[in-house]
Amino acid sequence: MASGVELRYGLNPEQSMHSNVFHPMRLAVGADEARRRIERISHATCRRAAERHWNVLEDGSIPEESVNWLFCWAKTGMGSAVAAKEARDVFDAILPFTFAEYDHGVNHEYARAHRYTTEAGQHRYG
* Extents of the domains making up the chain: 3-124
pLDDT digits (tens, 9 = 90+) for 48-103: 999 999 999 988 889 889 999 999 999 999 999 999 999 999 999 999 999 999 99
Contact 65, 123 (CB under 8 A): yes
Contacts 24+ apart (CB under 8 A), 53-62: 53/115, 53/116, 55/117, 56/27, 56/31, 57/24, 59/24, 60/26, 60/27, 60/31, 61/23, 61/24, 61/25, 61/26, 62/24, 62/25, 62/26, 62/27, 62/95
Model confidence pLDDT, tens digit, residues 8-28: 344 444 433 345 566 668 899
Q: What's the whole-model pTM score? A: 0.78
CA distance 39 to 125: 25
Mean pLDDT across 25-45: 95
Give the separation between CA 20 and CA 101, rounded to whole angstroms.
Answer: 12
pLDDT of 19: 55
